[in-house]
Structure 1
Amino acid sequence: MPTRIIPIIPAMPSGHGPSSRKGRGTTVHIAHRFERDNRDVFDDGWATLGDEAQAADQAPPPATSVTEERVKSMLTRNTSPDIPFALSLNPYRGCEHGCIYCYARPTHSYLDLSPGLDFETRLIAKVNAASVLERELARPGYAPSPIAIGSVTDAYQPIERRLRITRAVLQVLGDCAHPYTVITKSAGIERDIDLIAPAAQAGRAWVSVSITTLDGALARILEPRAASPARRLQAVRALSGAGIAVGVNVAPIIPFINDSDIEHIVEAAARAGASSVHHTVLRLPWEVAPLFRQWLETHFPARAARVMARVQDLHGIEAAQRTPHVGRTARDYDARFGQRMHGTGPWADLIRQRIAKVSARFGLPRGGLPALDCSAFRRPAAWQAVGDARQASLFD
């Protein structure tokens, strides 16, 4: 069987990077890390490379495709000390929001798909998510713990409006009084306030809304199909007004791109009714690093080198590791627990201090997941009935 070859488009000199496409975070079908063979694009002197780029620019925008998947399990157990929850679920694989910085892009590699354009255009919908979750919650040995919804890909990305998988999951959790959290950058969560508000008022639900910038023009190229910053703040206001505790996540903080927005975001979040604030810095695992470098060369070529140098500073990358060597690419990111989310060193400390000062000024506590009540949990009714019938049959 021939090996599938996907071209990698390398970073180019300033002003000559890959073209951008409205509504997409990247135009690149970057090869994933499990590919056996890669092919680099280069100019052969006959101007064919320019012709290909022009043809790509004139091509219609790539469409989004959705593949239905029937999964066997929904709950994922997390052991990372950086993450304040033990259980998570994600109704979708891939995310149409197209955020160029998304740390989840490399997960598409496990599907033999590109973490680049495929991640935001070739989506997988777990259509039986609600029924599978019911079955998992009904297991006799199951011990309730808050479930984080959308920890990898956004549970309220555009296709949720039609498929309503996330809403079905929330209905299951509500029916059995199970605690949960939702993290999103979509205003679509407003649709489900009728389900989230009763759970929140019982101490069983909490929402986090990620806001990267207040600059609409920057947001359109950073996270092209996510809700606008103003719309996200409106969602915070609506959630808070319904009695739902909602935190704002200033994330990710990218030096010389959106770090000047930190204080403005926290102030806007406080005025919208947020109950807490937290932050993370830019993370560049696996294929995200070359994709982000290409994005910088496309949109901010004059400051690309300065941005990457500061990102490396934030993650404590030593000088010798910042340049490529034979058999090794430049290192941009340190994935160690305790460091990867907030960084290390003086620049990371400065960001923490800024967050702390502005949070105190507006009376917003810092931190992540609040304590949620697990005491009212009851097994899903349908499965309880099945279990009771099976138990009764033992004595017939």
Structure 2
Amino acid sequence: MPEKNTYPVQLVQPDGRRVFDPVHAPLVADIGAAQLRAMYSDMVVARRIDTEATALQRQGQLGLWPPLLGQEAAQIGSAHALNPDDYAFCSYREAGVALCRGVAPEDMTRLWRGVAHSCWDADAVKMTNPAIVVGAQGLHATGYAYAAHLEGSEIATIAYFGDGATSQGDIAEALGFAASWSAPVVFFCQNNHWAISAPVRVQSATPIARRALGYGIPGVQVDGNDALAVLAVTRQALQHARSGAGPSFIEAITYRMGPHTTADDPTRYRTDAELELWRQRDPIDRMRRLLEREQLSDSDFETEVEVRADAVAARLRTATLTMPDPEPGDLFEHVYATPHRLIEEERRAYTAYLEGVGR
């Protein structure tokens, strides 16, 4: 993996034309019509999931939802590079990655509706649940990767986080440990330009990928709205990790076209002109134009994709609206792997309180 690049890697331009890149194009030379169509389909479905979940929150059915609108290429491109036994450590916005890892639509909103501590079975899909603590997943991914290395496993982990998380100590500690112990982890930063209302320029005076170089970790910038380029650099980084060469860092330059979460109002801190500029770089439009240029798309295919997206959205909505409310005592289940004295004391106190108020 190159230690630095002076511009983001790009293999497909916004108008769908291929870019000649003798270094990175060979990394995806095996990606044919079926794989390109599958990536496009996953991007459309990921956006449909996001649209449906956002609508559910606006309708009072979810407590919160962190939209991924505009970041589909970064998520789908990187997720398609993972092997089944690799482990993904997410932040709170990676519904697109979850889709690719096999998470059922019925499981995607359980945490956000407030009926469970988590959404899905992490071990079943080799992906952690949404992490609200910003940057903590970098440490978890590094520790898991190092443990796998000690056991002789040839897997890699990938840690997803945003540009704002790079200012957190947890990410700095993860980078330091991973570099010192050659942990097979890929740090994947989705630089979407805004950490809530703070622009990326206040996170770093230099390109974020260059921070990795200070730890002795190779870093690369990629056009995060180009799914094929993201796939290429992520494949490269994962192979770097699996071969025993240690960690690497990817900065995917993308844009959050929606709010930080549904509790946020982005019109208070960014301009319509900026948003319009990034709408013209829409990652789904780019992949669609590539398919059209290469005669890999027609009306039947587009209909098939839309039918799939609508079906997934319907499953998500139905499951969300029919999720049973948990019993109050369920709050204390699965907090620790084994019985814990303090948890049991809290359970008894809460039970007594409920009895006192006639619950």
* Both proteins in one fold, TM over 0.5: no
**Higher Rg:** 1
Indicate the TM-score class for this superposition, using the shorter chain for normalisation: 0.3 to 0.5
* Structure whose residues are more often strand by fraction: 1
Q: Which of the pair has the greater relative contact order for Cα pairs under 8 Å at 6+ separation?
A: 2
* Structure whose residues are more often helix by fraction: 2
TM-score of the pair, normalised by structure 1: 0.35
